[in-house]
Amino acid sequence: MRKKIVAGNWKMNTLPAEGVELAKGVVAGRGEVCSCVNFIVCPPFTHLAMVAEALKGSDIELGAQNCAAEAKGAYTGEVAASMIAALGCKYVILGHSERRQYYGETSATLNKKMEQAYANGLTPIYCVGENLDEREAGKHFDVVKAQIEEVVYNLSEEQFKNLVIAYEPVWAIGTGKTATADQAQEIHAYIRKVLAEKFGAAAAECPILYGGSCKPANAAEIFAKEDVDGGLIGGAALKAEDFLAIGKGFQK
């Protein structure tokens, strides 16, 4: 049985005190959702210590949105994987399309970040996904395949057992346009096949999340698909009520 995961990517939103309130709201309503759902919140770096405190005593896990490619040293403005792990993070989002697009993150950088994450006991949530031009040109399969081959294929079998993949079509992120449940299933099944080519049967255990305008109104239909194991949620994760309602979308 694969893990069911609903992860909130807060991006660069909320002030620290607002983030604490949001986390408390998630904790307060968590009991209404099946305990089979694993909730993760990923606030900005500045909020991690305070949010960790707010999550204490609950089963909601903490993640960061990024980490440095280096272990430590003279890298002004960077935050090391060891630092976020020390604050209680269990997860780190890596390779989000906004990092690839606006901050020039390449597979070479992401390989180093993945190593840092594993070296510090973190589970990466590795994001893949095509942009609109690539989808319209029918290249989406090749794009995600390359994003997996160039990074995930470098992991050891042991590391691969601690990996979450998020498929996020760039054209669906923050746009209100969601992939249809069938489109999500089609590419999730393909991703699993690409993973199986390298890691064999272990691919059946890897959670693959859908991301991109996922909300309470469409989560149930998407999560019902065989190869969709949950969601990476942006906008809708900023309201505790909506975030929890997405968790209720699990009926399988």
User: Least CB distance from residue 32 to ligand PGA, whole Å?
Assistant: 21
User: Least CB distance from residue 156 to ligand PGA, whole Å?
Assistant: 27
Nearer residue to ligand PGA within complex by CB, 212 or 230? 212
Give Cβ neighbours of residue 179 (< 8 Å, ≥ 6 apart): 169, 172, 187, 210, 212, 222
Phi and psi angles of residue 164, each rounded to the nearest 5 degrees, phi first: -120, 135
User: Least CB distance from residue 58 to ligand PGA, whole Å?
Assistant: 22
**What's the rounded Cα separation, in Å, for the pair 148 and 137?**
20
Nearer residue to ligand PGA within complex by CB, 46 or 101? 101
User: Least CB distance from residue 158 to ligand PGA, whole Å?
Assistant: 27
Nearer residue to ligand PGA within complex by CB, 14 or 199? 14
Q: How far is CA 97 from CA 3, 11, 39, 131, in A?
A: 24, 12, 22, 9
- Residue nearest ligand PGA (C-beta atom): 234
Q: How many CA atoms lie within 13 A of 226 on its CB side?
A: 7
Q: How far is CA 150 from CA 50, 153, 188, in A?
A: 35, 6, 18
- Residue ranges in contact with ligand PGA by CB under 6 A: 9, 168, 173-174, 211-214, 232-236
User: Least CB distance from residue 41 to ligand PGA, whole Å?
Assistant: 12
Active site members: 96, 168
3-state SS, residue 211: strand
Nearer residue to ligand PGA within complex by CB, 40 or 152? 40
Nearer residue to ligand PGA within complex by CB, 81 or 172? 172
Q: What is the largest CA-CA distance in the chain?
A: 48
